[in-house]
Structure 1
Amino acid sequence: MARILRALSKDKNVAIFIMDSTDIVEEARRIHNLPPIPTAALGRLLTAASMMGVMLKGEKHTLSIQISCSGILKGLVAVSDSKGNVKGYVKNKEVLTEINQAGKLNVRGAIGDGTLTVIKDLGLKEPYIGQIELVSGEIAEDLTHYFVLSEQIPSAVALGVLIDTDESVKSAGGFIIQLLPETPEGLIEKLEERIKNFSNISSVLAEKDIMQITAQLFGDIEYEVLDEYFPGYKCDCSKEKVESIIPLLTDEEISDDRIEVVCSFCEKRYYFTKEEAFRIKYGAKE
């Protein structure tokens, strides 16, 4: 079961969001039938979106992270609600496995250059939109950069997905550490030193649970766990919602007797008759 903890130091200078997302990432891999590199890339983004989702205040608030990129993946999307429930997809999943010089899956190469966009729907007239240029394509480093530039929050982000020999997800997860501006320099140095021990967070998660990792990250800093969440991979699609795709199709594309529309997030298929499709597109039967 996927799990998120939100913990805060007693002096309220340090907040840690930490997640074991193994079950969610494996479910995404299974639904989309993903090979290792798309699994690793989407898994990192799903983990980040889920943790950032629980940072939202309102019950109906939602958050999406979109990566538009020049690499073979072409782009990724993850959407989360305020309970951390998440869904996502990779635009191109036909990617061969490639190992980088460090002996890890070459996610950076598959993403390449591009932009990272965070969209928060807070129930206002217009959503909040923050966008940055990708700094590495590793996703964790890019989000660290996003928090500093777009939200002015000094942060450290770690994300990881460990693929098993059968290409299933052995472990996945990550953490986001956020600091208040007045956090003492000595405390920051302590945290930076501890974070070095978690450079391969997915391997650590294969051996320790997130409560143990939280304790290690805080070390001698007094803290308390404020919230615990048990999110899942959840898609809320319906035939009514996917109708919005129909007006984007050409008349030729909706001229077959049966039109198939596939949900990008869960691969569920919805079918429309030619008469339904023309009625949706033009408001009257053609």
Structure 2
Amino acid sequence: MPRFAANLSMMYTEVDFLDRFSAASADGFEAVEYLFPYAYEPAELRRRLDEHGLRQVLFNAPPGDWDSGERGIASLPGREGELRSGIGRALEYAAALGCGQVHVMAGLLPREATATQRAAHRDTYLSNLAWAAERAAAVDVDLLIEPINGRDMPGYFLHRQADAHALVQEVGASNLKVQLDLYHCQIVEGDLTTTLRRDLPTGRVAHLQIAGVPDRHEPDRGELNVRHLLDVVDELGFDGWIGCEYIPQAGTSEGLGWLKDNRWLKNERWLKNDRGEHA
């Protein structure tokens, strides 16, 4: 049965970040993900998780200078030392938060990148992923790579599912896996049902994310049939988490009808919330 995690970078932005844990729990979520934890002490984040009965299931490794437009450094030649330092920091947070998955962002290609430059980025990416996966395996953490669409993130190194799976297979580390965001995949490739049926049985997909297409609002807004896709995920026996990485259109709690109405969440915690009881 699909399990859903609230993405606290995009959801519950009506309140300060540290207050989003309680808001997610009050709406019935049992797990959270977000982009980066590094602005907060691990002990404070762990306290919020424990206080509200939440699991941390995903965050990103340091991405370079995010505010200046960098979107990861794992494929950038010459940044290997910074990548290694960032992986070390991410694994420290993962241990403190009990989080078994860390997403490693690839980074951006230069504009009009030549074939030689693309090859150099790929070689760097492979080398860095192999090094990072070995370190992560020692502390029982999976590293994830994610294809991201070029409309939202122009120049991002990794766009297509097949390329991600090829990289994972080439590195050959059992704890290096794919993060399949159905929003990005729909924009780049479409054919989501076939993608799910092809890739989930491989065991290489560790985490799913969902959002409506094209505007990245609630998953039931736009062109996707979210109920059908969740049926396919359940049919395939996927036992990972599904991150709700979307921008609520008009209030986070107000937009959760798609989730509360879905048969996947008819558990006691949600039923109590629907009856107005304290969960």
TM-score by length of 1: 0.29
- By relative contact order (CA 8 Å, sep 6+), the higher-ranking structure is 1
Q: TM-score, normalised by structure 2?
A: 0.30
* More strand by percentage: 1
